[in-house]
């Protein structure tokens, strides 16, 4: 049976559908797609708003933390009366208010090497907006093994970055090609360094844009391109990330990992 959009959905997504690069076909692809978002924080919060608005059929929000008063200046999904509640559950409630056509699910668990493969299974694209390096490695390894495009984004103070990884492809880097393997690399968090609220809005919105591009392709293929944003200087620039021929994760192909 052919899947079609209802009249309510056509009205809701009219400004997408009118874009030749998206159209009805792209909108259907979005509805049939599942995005998993790691971290309902500064990146995840604005990203999730646009993912729900865009009409992803399934959204999984993975976060084991609770809403804190110090989150509210940048995590715009939450309100003051939700302080102390589980972020993933508050986020899912907000997504249903934004778009009742979306099936959103909260996972109040910390994602790690032991559960990442299970929690991300079935996702068509993953956004990682988490705030620690070990989590990012666990998510990246699971995405590589399951061949799920990974949109990785991070912010600090007035700066941020976003990149898409499909390391199972012969000419595309994986996340470990980019960052290496040293677990001591863990950077400082927003709690330690501070961050200007709208900086997370810029990078979270970019992450949502790349997640949409990953399932309903438009424009250039951005996998392997790193966007660096410096908002003290109001400067955006991109770098091509090379595939590391010595990378233990993706060199020689993902098949060696999956065996
Ligand atoms: Zn690699």
Distance 13 CA to ligand 1 centre (A): 37
Contacts with 80 (C-beta within 8 Å, 6 or more apart), sequence order: 69, 72
Q: For residue 258, report the distance from its CA to the centre of ligand 1, in Å.
A: 14
Q: Which residues are catalytic?
A: 190
pLDDT, tens digit (0-9, with 9 covering 90-100), for 83-138 = 999 999 999 999 999 999 999 999 999 999 999 999 999 999 999 999 889 999 99
The string of pLDDT tens digits covering residues 168-217 is 999 999 999 999 876 555 555 666 789 999 999 999 999 999 999 999 99
Cα(67)–Cα(77) distance, integer angstroms: 10
Reduce the DSSP state of residue 14 to 3 states and report it: helix
pTM for this one? 0.94
Q: 97: CA distance to ligand 1 center in Å? A: 39
**Do residues 160 and 199 make contact, with C-beta atoms less than 8 angstroms apart?**
yes
């Amino acid at each position: 049976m052919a899947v079609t959009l209802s009249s309510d959905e056509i009205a809701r997504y009219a400004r997408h559908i009118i874009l030749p690069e998206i159209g009805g076909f792209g909108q259907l692809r979005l509805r049939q797609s599942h995005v998993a978002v790691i971290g309902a924080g500064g990146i995840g919060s604005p990203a999730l708003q646009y993912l729900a608005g865009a009409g992803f059929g399934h959204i999984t929000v993975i976060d084991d933390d609770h809403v804190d008063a110090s989150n509210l200046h940048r995590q715009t999904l939450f309100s003051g009366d939700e302080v102390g509640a589980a972020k993933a559950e508050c986020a899912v409630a907000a997504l249903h208010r934004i778009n009742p056509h979306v099936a959103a699910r909260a996972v109040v668990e910390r994602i790690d090497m032991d559960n990442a493969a299970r929690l991300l299974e079935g996702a068509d694209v993953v956004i990682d907006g988490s705030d620690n390096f070990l989590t990012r490695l666990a998510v990246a390894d699971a995405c590589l093994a399951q061949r799920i495009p990974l949109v990785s984004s991070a912010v600090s103070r007035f700066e941020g970055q976003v990149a898409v990884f499909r390391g199972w492809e012969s000419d595309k880097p994986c996340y470990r090609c980019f960052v290496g393997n040293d677990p001591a690399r863990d950077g400082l968090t927003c709690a330690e360094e501070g961050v200007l609220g709208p900086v997370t809005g810029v990078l979270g919105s970019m992450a949502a844009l790349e997640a949409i591009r990953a399932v309903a392709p438009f424009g250039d293929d951005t996998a392997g391109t790193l966007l660096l944003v410096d908002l003290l200087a109001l400067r955006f620039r991109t770098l091509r990330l090379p595939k590391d021929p010595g990378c233990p994760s993706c060199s020689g192909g993902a098949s060696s990992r999956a065996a």
